[in-house]
Structure 1
């Protein structure tokens, strides 16, 4: 009788181990995080005023070329004109994750661009500096850094300003109140649709927080930052034919 009992115990143990192994595999799949999308901007080395130039965005997610981006739009502006109207040109999908625009810059000088990319519920907007003609860039790097943080005094073609102040007292794992004060021609920008988009390597995807209008032109949302570190906070605002956004850097300390 001992041998049958031994064999029965052996089979029971094997079944239990097989079940445990299956559970571990399932957990590993659930814990695997989806990679962020990435956009690489490809520009000509020599751009001359009045001549067509081709700009490309190579969009990938991990090792995969992104063929189904919602849109890729190039936004161009000349140095010193960041507060004026910035033209946005939608790129054409050429295949293998490449999106392309042909654009002519009429005057010599230093320029900037954003490659606004929306794909798979994620948004990235890499920024590039380039020159047209033979003009030297001078102190453009310092100016570019300042432009990255001009969010509190942002204008668009409709004279819209967006004010946002990050709270240095925000802590990880504590609910934070995100506030945006939006005006148009110095009057409250009322009844708009506003979202806070939160981007970080601490997150496995972009987070979108819907804001509610607390007072005319003042919008508020709640979010709990999961860890210390740097985050990019993009404020999207939409109303009638206006659809724009600004970007702000936020640091969460312990």
Structure 2
């Protein structure tokens, strides 16, 4: 009788152990699926390679994360400029098609080679692939494209995510998203150079990689007014790029 009780108790413990093991395995599977680092934000940019001058061209960006459509992007804008004239670029608001696609249209009125870059901000991430489109006479566009190599647009793209509001004497997070040839740039040395407009005092703040292609640092602006922020990007193979932006501190 005693042996029978011990056998029953052993059987119950074995069943309980198997049940707990199965639950633990299920929990681990869910953790691997839902926990850990979030999936990268993927953007598939579709722009025709060529179009006639004066025609309206449609741009389409398909935004996904982990294979699923991102229908709730915070902001999607298209930036368009002629080769060598990025300072004169224009920004277009994208239309959310509610299925992960974000579209815009633009009419090109001059022959030439143009860049189209989409800036997608969603789920605390940013992606900004770009491509080229030739408008009008391909030979004329090619001549323009090779007219002056010093003015060709860099394969490195730096995007500074300005804080929505900056108050004096309050710590803020500075974020830079960096891509090279449409891929997030890893293992880069990134610094923020900051100085108030009209001042000769420049401060250099090292940024740390927060995720793939994303670099962050924190800083406290001591005074109100206009500040300049220059982002320096370097790596061990000789890369050195930078952009300069301005922010207003209240």
TM-score, normalised to structure 1, is 0.62
Pair 1:13–1:75, CA change in 2 (3 A): same
Pick closer, same or farther for the CA change 1:94–1:80 going to 2, 3 Å: same
Q: Does 1:38 align with 2:45?
A: no
The aligned counterpart of 2:52 is: 48
The aligned counterpart of 2:30 is 29
> 1:23 deviation in Å?
2.0
Q: CA deviation at 1:196?
A: 7.4
2:117: which partner in 1?
114
RMSD: 4.3
What CA distance in whole angstroms lies between the structure 2 residues aligned with 1:48 and 1:131?
A: 8
Does the 8 Å contact 2:113/2:144 carry over to 1? no
**Maintained 8 Å contact 2:79/2:90:** yes
Which residue does the alignment assign to 2:77? Answer: 73
For residues 110-160 of structure 1, what are the alpha-carbon distances to aligned partners after superposition, in whole Å with 9 as ceiling and x for unaligned? 111211001111110011112111224369598898612486xxxxxxxxx
Q: Is the 8 A contact 1:43 1:54 kept in 2?
A: yes
1:14–1:237 Cα change, 3 Å? farther
From 212, 235, 249, the counterpart of 1:200: 212
Would you say the 8 A contact 1:196–1:211 is kept in 2? no
**Mind listing any 5+ residue stretches in structure 2 that lack a counterpart?**
159-175, 177-186, 232-240
**Equivalence for 2:63:** 59
Question: Which of 155, 158, 163 matches 1:148?
Answer: 155
Residues 188 and 129 of structure 1, relative CA distance in 2, 3 Å threshold: farther
Tell me what 1:179 maps to.
Answer: 191
Out of 105, 128, 131, which is 2:131 matched to?
128
Give the C-alpha shift of residue 218 in structure 1: 6.7
SS of the equivalent of 1:7 reads helix
Gaps of 5+ in 1: 152-163, 165-171, 221-232, 242-254
Count of aligned positions: 199
Q: Are 2:247 and 1:239 aligned?
A: yes
| Equivalent residue, structure 2, for 1:20 | 21
Are 2:218 and 1:210 aligned? yes
Q: Distance in 2 between matches of 1:24 and 1:214?
A: 52
C-alpha deviation, 1:44, in angstroms: 3.0
